[in-house]
Amino acid sequence: MARNPYLPMTAEVVERIEEAPDVYTLRVRLRHAAERAAYRFAPGQFNMLYLFGVGEVPISISSDPDEHELVDHTIRAVGRVTEGLVRLGPGARLGLRGPFGTGWPFAVAQGRALLMITGGLGCAPTNSAIEYAIKRRSQYGPITIAHGVKRPQDLIYGARFAAWEKAPDTRVLLSADRPDPNWRGRSGLVTALLDEIDPGLIRDGFTLMCGPEPMMRSVAENLLKRGAALERIYLSLERNMQCALGHCGNCQFGKEFLCKDGPVFPYARVRALLPVGGY
């Protein structure tokens, strides 16, 4: 019998990792072995995490899809539910529904260069995508990871950026809008990093983006002016997703529902709606 997608499975926190003062990664494990054996996800998908007695929120999966025992979720404490989730320690239990949504287009991107462009906490949804590509390094061309933050203290996954930079044929570019004297990356908006990327990689590669929508629109239009192919630009959007099944309508975006048609979209499908207020 198919599982009721509205009923959460029970998961247990195995590890709580502080990424930044208000950002934590919860590593959780499904309690029942049969559910662990059946659970699979693609990079870019999300789970609904339920803090018992408080509420439920959509959180991107930030671990590698080949890790079947533990599932990572990086959470910024910005509301009642997320503030409670980030306080959970090892052994605490929570509800988990998922995975939901669409993933990144890795099958069609094989053999191409990959541009991973992110801003703020936007690196969390693409984290599993980066890990996925680096672990299957021979299947893809050069990888460029460009990440922008407002302030140096907003940078999470510092150790992972350092590790990714050591991967073969992989380049990491970091930028801060408001750098301090200790910042070793570039200064300015993430769009400025595009000047440092080989134009050939922009023209021939696949771009995967996540972050604030104005940033992604600006980057996407900038890439198009540099010769990128519209059909090879993908982005992950965020909205108030509640049922995760396209039934409640909270995340409706034109004719699309972010929870089931997204959150990963080809830019061509959402380009006209992104500048329109109210969506």
The label of the residue with tokens 């998908």 reads 45
Dist. CA 227–CA 199, nearest whole Å: 8
Which residue type, as a one-letter code, is found at position 93? Answer: R
pTM of structure: 0.90
H helices then E strands: how many in the chain? 9, 15
Q: What is the pLDDT of residues 131-150, one digit of tens each?
A: 889 999 999 999 999 999 88
Taking alpha carbons only, the member of 31, 56, 59 closest to residue 45 is 59
What confidence tier does 123 reach under pLDDT thresholds 50, 70, 90?
Answer: low
- Percent of the chain at pLDDT above 70? 97
Q: What is the pLDDT of residues 72-114, one digit of tens each?
A: 998 989 899 999 999 999 999 999 999 999 999 999 999 999 9
Is the separation of the CB atoms in 81 and 53 below 8 Å? no
Q: Between 215 and 127, whose confidence is greater?
A: 215
The label of the residue with tokens 């510092």 reads 158
User: How far, in whole angstroms, is CA 233 from its chain's centroid?
Assistant: 15
